[in-house]
Every structure is written in C-alpha cells, then in structure tokens.
C-alpha cells in the first residue's frame, strides 16, 4: 500500500543553515534509493543528499538558496515501504587533504582588516547566537565588524566566513598591526604569450582556499624528515595479507602506521593536543581519532578512524578498506571527517622521497609518508639491504619544539622497525 513519507535533513555535525545550491528532483519524479536529491554547500565541502528509498516525489519543500539544518523537511515521497519517515545521510565529494581533514575546526587567528573592509553598520553589540559567537571566537573575528544577513540583521555562520575570506583576500599594508604586508598578486594576460585555456576551480578548492591559507600563514610549520626500517614489518604484513585475503580484507602498511602513530602519541602527549581559542592553553585529548588521506578521482578526502588505540591491525585494515570505498563512491557523511587528533597523508603508493604536509588545524601535527625503497644500511659491520620508509612530520612550533619532533619520529621508527612493540 502506498504511503507518503517525509525525508528530513540528518545530523551534519557542526554545520547549520547550510545553503542549498542545487535541487535535482521535482514533484512527479520517480527516484531510486541513493539517487541524489539535492546538493548542499558548507564552507569546506559540498554534500549530496541521497534518497533513502525508491519512490515518487510528491512535493519538494526546499529550493535553491534556502538554508537548512538538521531536521528540516526536504521533501515528501510516495513509496510502498513500511517506514513512516526517513533521515538520510549526506555524502561529501572529495576535498584536499590539507583542509578536509576533519573538516578542521578553525585555528584561532586574528584577521587583519583594513578600514575599507569594515561594514557601515557597526554596533557595540552584535546580534548572533551563542554557537556563532563561539565560531567567531575560534576565528578571532570581532563580530561588531560583521554585517548580519539574517532576519533582523542576525549574523549567520556564512556572514562570519565571508568576512574572513574577504579580509584574507585583501592585501595588508601600512605600519603596525598583524598584517603580512603582502602586495596584491599582479593581473597577467597570459594569452599574450600563447594559447591558453581557462578552467574554473571546483567549489571545493574555492572554499578550501581560505582554510589552507589560514593554516599555512597562522601556524609556524616545521617539518622533520626521518626514515623507518620496515623490512620485518613488510614481511609480516605480507603474511597477514595471505591469511586474510579470503575474507576480503587487504592488509596495508597504513594499518600498521595508524597503530604506530597512536603508540608514539601516547608516549608524547603533546602531539595529541590543540591550542584553545586564547592560544594560551593546551587541550590534551584522551581519545585517539586519526585522519587518513584517501585518494579519489576528484581529489583527496580525509575521513577519520575513531578510537584507533582500541583496535587491532586487522580491524583497522578492514575499516580503511570500507572508508576508502565510501570515499571513492562519494558516500562519506560529513561527520566521518570530523574530530581528528592527528592526520596521516600517505603518498607511498605514488612515489616521492619527502614533502611538507600542511597541518590540519586545530591539530598540531601531520605525518607525511613517501614511497619505501631498498637502501644499503650498515648493520653488524656490513651493509645490508633494508626497506626504508621516508617520514615527513610537520608540526606546530608553538606547541612542539624540534627536540620533541625528533624524539617522536625516532620512537615511531623504532616501533615500525619492530612491530612487537605495538602490543606493549
């Protein structure tokens, strides 16, 4: 028997008042489960909201430009299933490893603003909700400088984000203050020199630009390079791989890296921390959620594996396979990329010898992994071939000093070279 059912907006983490940028169905359309109904756009990603079941659209309750939150009625569908209402999970297209890792909460940063960027209606008391005030404090934004676009001049999250993007885009000049004093980029007509093609940046890259810029200029990055001898680890990994391949579980080096990183973080707790909004206190975390870069056809995504300290190599390998598949199929919910304590960006399957990964604020460190190679290593009075894994650890120098970073990578190398230490 046909029934009319509601499709509601699900929990999408901290995001509220998310704008609808595309509606892909209309009344009368027949849709299949998992077919995209509409597309949303946050400050860090776009998200497709899929249909939870087969049916016929009876009425669409939202339109392009609407801002919706958890629980908002999206549409009514006629179906023969027995469910009376449904909440669907949005899926998120790939984004850059640097900015999509959790998606990261904003690093406290004072945004320099020139007088020309200030709105005309400054007031002594900003009209904003507690959550927006908290968000603005994280960004270091003075809400009295932000013009509200909401009802009765209420300041929305989009207003704060637009203010930050505008401020970061403006060249900072003059004397004093916290500006970088960087000249504006020159406008160049490249067609004068030969044939060109203009290709617009994706929405993700446009939106992530401010986050990348903020993290790079506001965090004093230092990168410590090291190598780990993974000869025995790789032999053991291959043994496990043969053992679990029939169960459809692929044991990758990344599963070992996850456990090893957590072991090192337990040894050096400052790596599992964040600066608070004031920049004067360190928040030490007692949980271990690790973000992992996943390569997809559209770019990199950084889903977060929860409670890595409580899981074994096989379980982590299984979860890595599952999230990788969801990422490539664009079925990761936004909440799957939040709450990370530390990020691993592995390019080992591609190549390279070293690189400088950008820290995912509010995390204080990120580990880059390059391609392992056989090298001669002097052991017991002779050179022997060993499989060496390049490691590149970028860290926030406000929190971690050089000696701590060297201790961390050295300890990490020790654990990777003798996987028995993972059970200690």
Q: Which residues have a catalytic role annotated?
A: 397
CB 257 within 8 A of CB 344: yes
Q: Which residues pair with 169 in a beta bridge?
A: none
Instruction: Indicate the DSSP class of residue 316.
Output: H
Select from 308, 318, 294, 229 the least CA-distant residue to 265. 308
Half-sphere exposure of 124 (CA within 13 A, CB side): 0
Cα–Cα dist 101/367, whole Å? 12
CB 259 within 8 A of CB 308: yes
Cα–Cα dist 279/219, whole Å? 11
Cis amide linkage into residue 362, ω under 30° from 0: yes
Cis amide linkage into residue 103, ω under 30° from 0: yes
What is the Cα gyration radius of the chain? 24
What's the token pair of residue 28?
A: 């009368």
Question: Position of tokens 């090192």?
Answer: 264
CB 377: neighbour CB atoms within 10 A? 15
Cα–Cα dist 264/242, whole Å? 28
CB 180 within 8 A of CB 172: yes
């Amino acid at each position: 028997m046909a029934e009319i059912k509601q499709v509601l907006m699900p929990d999408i983490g901290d995001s509220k008042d998310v704008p609808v940028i595309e509606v892909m169905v209309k009344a009368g359309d027949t849709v299949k489960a998992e077919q995209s109904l509409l597309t949303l756009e946050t400050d860090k990603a776009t998200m497709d909201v899929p249909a939870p079941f087969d049916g016929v659209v009876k009425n669409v309750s939202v339109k392009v430009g609407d801002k919706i939150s958890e629980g908002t009625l999206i549409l009514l569908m006629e179906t023969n299933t027995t469910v009376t209402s449904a909440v669907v999970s949005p899926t998120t297209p790939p984004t850059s490893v640097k900015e999509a890792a959790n998606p990261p909460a904003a690093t406290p940063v004072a945004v320099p603003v020139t007088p020309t960027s200030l709105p005309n209606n400054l007031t002594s008391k900003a009209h904003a909700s507690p959550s927006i005030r908290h968000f603005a404090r994280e960004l270091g934004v003075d809400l009295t400088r932000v013009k509200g676009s909401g009802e009765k001049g209420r300041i929305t999250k989009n207003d704060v984000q637009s203010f930050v993007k505008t401020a970061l885009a403006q060249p900072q000049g003059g004397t004093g203050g916290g500006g970088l004093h960087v000249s504006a980029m020159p406008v160049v007509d490249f067609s004068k020199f030969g044939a060109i093609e203009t290709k617009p940046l994706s929405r993700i890259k446009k939106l992530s630009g401010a986050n990348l810029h903020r993290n790079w200029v506001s965090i004093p990055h230092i990168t410590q390079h090291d190598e780990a001898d993974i000869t025995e680890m790789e032999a053991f990994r291959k043994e496990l791989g043969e053992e679990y391949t029939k169960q459809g579980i692929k044991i990758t080096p990344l599963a070992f890296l996850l456990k090893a990183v957590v072991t090192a973080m337990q040894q050096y707790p400052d790596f599992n921390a964040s600066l608070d909004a004031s920049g004067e206190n360190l928040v030490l975390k007692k949980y271990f959620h690790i973000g992992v870069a996943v390569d997809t056809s559209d770019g990199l995504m950084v889903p977060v594996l929860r409670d890595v300290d409580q899981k074994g190599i096989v379980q982590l390998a299984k979860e890595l396979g599952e999230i990788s598949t969801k990422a490539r199929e664009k079925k990761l919910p936004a909440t799957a990329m939040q709450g990370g304590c530390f990020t691993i960006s592995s390019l080992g399957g591609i190549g390279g010898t070293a690189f400088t990964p950008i820290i995912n604020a509010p995390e204080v460190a990120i580990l880059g992994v390059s391609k392992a190679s056989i090298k001669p290593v002097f052991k017991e009075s002779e050179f022997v071939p060993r499989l060496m894994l390049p490691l590149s650890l970028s860290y926030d120098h406000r929190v971690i000093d050089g000696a701590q970073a060297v201790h961390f990578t050295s300890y990490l190398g020790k654990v990777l070279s003798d996987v028995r230490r993972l059970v200690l």
